[in-house]
């Protein structure tokens, strides 16, 4: 397993993996990823399977940094809202290729994000998830704050917060 930050050269692989993991309307579009990679490539955590000869991207997480306390829908498409000196690391998604799930890749991506946020002296991380995943994020110390203001993809989301 190899974990690293993204570059613009990873755009196609990131977009393809996102489209495998999320349905249309919820999945981030390539142009949005392009903007994110332009503004905050060091807030992408890419996980590669080193057993594959071509270092296959199997999981990733990303999100901007902000002083805002809550994750809002506007943040998904407004990469310019990133504030490198911000207090909170937002996590927009934790994506794993369907064939590579249950192997620890998502854990590695999220752990890398948590570690970096601690190193950068953030107050913590904020993400939204579906109800079925609340218990997963709770294992990392995230606290369920209830239904999120986000309606991204016409879905009910729950806001989770990990405070350091």
- Predicted confidence (pLDDT) at residue 54 exceeds the cutoff of 80: no
CB atoms within 10 A of CB 140: 15
CA–CA separation, 40 and 103 (whole Å): 27
CA–CA separation, 22 and 19 (whole Å): 6
Q: Where are the domains of the chain?
A: 2-163
- CATH number, span 2-163: 3.40.630.30
Question: What is the pTM assigned to this prediction?
Answer: 0.94
CB atoms within 10 A of CB 94: 23
Collapse the DSSP code of 99 into the 3-class scheme (helix H, G, I; strand E, B; otherwise coil) and give the result.
Answer: helix
CA dihedral 124, 126, 129, 133 (to 10 degrees): 10
Using the 8-state DSSP alphabet, how is residue 67 labeled?
A: S
Alpha carbon separation from 37 to 19, 58, 76 (Å, rounded):
17, 18, 12
Collapse the DSSP code of 146 into the 3-class scheme (helix H, G, I; strand E, B; otherwise coil) and give the result.
Answer: strand
pLDDT digits (tens, 9 = 90+) for 4-30: 999 999 999 999 999 998 888 778 899
Tokens of 51: 């057993």
pLDDT digits (tens, 9 = 90+) for 77-132: 899 999 999 999 999 999 999 999 999 999 999 999 999 999 999 999 999 999 99
């Amino acid at each position: 397993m190899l974990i690293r930050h993204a570059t613009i050269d990873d755009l196609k692989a990131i977009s393809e993996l996102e489209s495998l993991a999320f349905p249309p309307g919820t999945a981030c579009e390539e142009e949005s990823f392009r903007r994110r990679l332009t503004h905050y490539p060091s807030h992408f955590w890419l996980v590669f399977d080193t057993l594959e000869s071509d270092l296959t991207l199997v999981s990733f997480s990303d999100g901007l940094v902000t002083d805002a306390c809550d994750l809002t829908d506007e943040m998904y498409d407004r990469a310019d809202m990133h504030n490198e000196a911000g207090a909170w690391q937002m996590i927009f998604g934790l994506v794993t290729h369907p064939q590579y799930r249950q192997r620890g890749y998502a854990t590695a991506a999220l752990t890398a994000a948590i570690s970096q946020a601690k190193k950068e002296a953030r107050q913590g991380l904020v993400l939204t998830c579906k109800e079925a995943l609340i218990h997963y994020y709770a294992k990392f110390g995230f606290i369920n704050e209830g239904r999120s203001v986000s309606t991204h993809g016409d879905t009910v989301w729950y806001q989770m917060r990990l405070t350091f």
